[in-house]
Amino acid sequence: MFVMRAELFAEYMTWWDAIMIKVAAAITPPAEGYQSRTFGFISERIFTLWIELQRKERPELRFIELRLIFGNFTAI
Number of domains forming the structure of the chain: 1
On whether residue 25 sits in a domain, the answer given is yes
Read off the pLDDT of residues 3-58 as tens digits, 9 standing for 90 and up: 888 999 999 999 999 999 999 899 887 778 877 788 888 999 999 999 999 999 99
pLDDT of 63 reads 85
Residue 23 forms part of a structural domain: yes
Range of the domain at 46: 6-57
Per-residue HEC secondary structure of 10-58 comes to HHHHHHHHHHHHHHHHHCCCCCCCHHHHHHHHHHHHHHHHHHHHHHHHC
Specify if 75 maps to a domain.
no
The pLDDT value recorded for residue 47 is 92
With cut-offs at 50, 70 and 90, classify the pLDDT of residue 76.
low
Residue 11, domain member (yes or no): yes
Residue 28 lies in a domain: yes
Q: Over range 66-73, report the average pLDDT.
A: 79
